[in-house]
């Protein structure tokens, strides 16, 4: 079985490779979309068909709880118009200091957006506002 840390490094390095191949904006868009596509599939594989349609805010709150339970961060929560991920798995794996511009931050946003779309008939968009090692703050709209 593959080690989770090695898989995480592979995802982060893949995101950086996409950035080198198609540029910063393209990589962010591609990685966000990859997360949006992966989120519903991951959630469906975990819980099957979702039995109800939630409003956007409740779907976002539950998405954070599920991702926290899956180990994507020690604490992932909604605070007003923010999603705060603390001790997340991604920021420590990013090489270099310009972590706010890493495409993997957009993959994580897309993953959350995909979870919300799976549980809700509405969409949410997360924009990174603050990114540092061990903490990501997204503004959602």
Backbone angles phi, psi at 40, to 5 degrees: -60, -35
In contact, 99 and 91? CB cutoff 8 Å: yes
The Cα–Cα gap between 123 and 120 comes to 8
Looking at residue 80, which CATH number applies to its domain? Answer: 3.30.1380.20
What does the pLDDT read at residue 66? 95
Q: Is the pTM of this model over 0.85?
A: yes
Q: What is the pLDDT of residue 1?
A: 66
- Per-position pLDDT tens, the chain of length 141: 678 889 889 999 999 999 999 999 999 999 999 999 999 999 999 888 778 899 999 999 999 999 999 999 999 999 999 999 999 999 989 988 889 999 999 999 999 999 999 999 899 999 999 999 999 999 999
Q: What angle do CA 133, 68, 114 make, to 5 degrees?
A: 95
Domain of 125 in residue numbering reads as 4-140
Confidence at residue 116, expressed as pLDDT on a 0 to 100 scale: 97
User: Of 45, 22, 18, 17, whose CA–CA distance to 114 is shortest?
Assistant: 45
Q: How many domains does the chain have?
A: 1
């Amino acid at each position: 079985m593959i080690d989770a840390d090695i898989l995480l490094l592979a995802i982060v390095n893949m995101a950086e490779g996409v950035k080198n191949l198609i540029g910063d904006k393209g990589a962010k868009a591609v990685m966000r979309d990859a997360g949006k596509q992966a989120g519903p599939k991951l959630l469906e594989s975990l819980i099957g068909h979702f039995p109800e349609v939630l409003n956007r805010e409740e779907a976002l709150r539950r998405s954070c709880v599920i991702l926290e339970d899956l180990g994507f961060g020690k604490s992932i929560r909604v605070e007003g118009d923010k999603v705060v991920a603390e001790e997340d798995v991604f920021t420590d794996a990013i090489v270099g200091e310009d972590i706010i511009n890493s495409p993997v931050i957009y993959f994580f946003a897309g993953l959350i957006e995909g979870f919300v779309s799976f549980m809700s008939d509405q969409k949410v968009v997360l924009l990174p506002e603050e990114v540092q090692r061990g903490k990501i703050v997204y503004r959602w709209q």
